[in-house]
């Protein structure tokens, strides 16, 4: 039987209020995640997991301020505050998340030379994380995505999921965005829809039937 997987994107301390790269109202999605976890055959969580000297950090680029733009390995790159450093509290799952319900963890952004927004591939599509192989091995046909942040890791994970051939749904009320520019979040939703992602609300999955 083909299965449906829930993909939880970067529900980590540094991406919620008080964290190093806090997404506005990020903690509001924890309740949605916990409500949906029991509704799925398979639950996979991605973790942004950087070495302390990761090149996406503004601190590693002289003359580039936080949220400034520069070029990294031939790709446009936003300079982020130091965040989700492997082994630090900021990289841990956010408290209150039902971690017992998570079957697999996928670590990304571990190579200091390249950023990785998508849970499937680094930003240059040079290396996979193993997520496609994991989902195929589990006979997953449909991927339902929620998490942080709408305009970065959720967006690129959803686009790659479609490209990898999975039926792809994003739970809109289960996501929050960074919104460096006011148009970033609405544009992310539009890009996902244009790519063939279905946008859904969480009550569709958690409704008792």
Given the rule CB under 5 A, which residues bind Zn ion? 48, 109
Separation of alpha carbons 132 and 94, rounded Å: 25
From residue 37, alpha-carbon distances to 25, 102, 180 in Å are 20, 8, 30
Applying CB under 6 A, does 11 fall inside the site for ligand VGL? no
Q: Are 47 and 104 in contact (CB under 8 A)?
A: no
- Binding-site member from 40, 107, 120, 152 for ligand VGL (CB under 6 A): 152
Q: Which of 108, 115, 151, 160 is catalytic?
A: 108
DSSP secondary structure code for residue 151 in this structure: I
Q: Are 175 and 39 in contact (CB under 8 A)?
A: no
Per CB under 6 A, the segment of 88-96, 149-157, 167-175, 183-191 that binds ligand VGL is: 149-157
Q: Which of 55, 115, 151, 153 is catalytic?
A: 153
- Binding-site member from 48, 82, 122, 160 for ligand VGL (CB under 6 A): 48
> Which residue number has the CB closest to Zn ion?
48
Element (H, E) at 171: strand 167-176
- The pair of structure tokens assigned to 180 is 């460096």
Nearer of residues 157 and 202 to ligand VGL, judged by Cβ: 157
Nearer of residues 38 and 65 to ligand VGL, judged by Cβ: 65
Applying CB under 6 A, does 148 fall inside the site for ligand VGL? yes
């Amino acid at each position: 039987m083909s299965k449906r997987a829930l993909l939880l994107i970067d529900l980590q301390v540094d991406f919620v209020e008080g964290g190093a790269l806090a997404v506005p109202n990020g903690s509001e999605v924890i309740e949605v995640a916990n409500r949906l976890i029991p509704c799925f055959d398979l639950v996979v969580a991605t973790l942004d997991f950087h070495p302390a000297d990761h090149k996406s950090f503004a601190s590693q680029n002289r003359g580039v301020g936080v949220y400034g733009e520069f070029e990294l390995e031939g790709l446009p790159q936003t300079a982020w505050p130091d965040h989700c450093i492997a082994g630090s509290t900021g990289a841990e799952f956010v408290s209150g998340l039902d971690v017992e319900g998570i079957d697999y963890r996928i670590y990304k952004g571990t190579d200091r030379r390249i950023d990785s927004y998508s849970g499937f591939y680094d930003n240059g599509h040079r290396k996979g994380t193993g997520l496609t192989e994991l989902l195929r091995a589990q006979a997953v046909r449909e991927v339902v995505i929620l998490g942080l942040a709408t305009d970065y890791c959720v967006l690129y994970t959803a686009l790659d999921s479609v490209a990898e051939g999975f039926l792809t749904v994003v739970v809109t009320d289960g996501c929050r965005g960074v919104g460096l520019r006011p148009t970033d979040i609405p544009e992310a939703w539009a890009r996902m829809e244009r790519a063939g992602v279905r946008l859904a609300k969480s009550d569709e999955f958690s409704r008792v039937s």
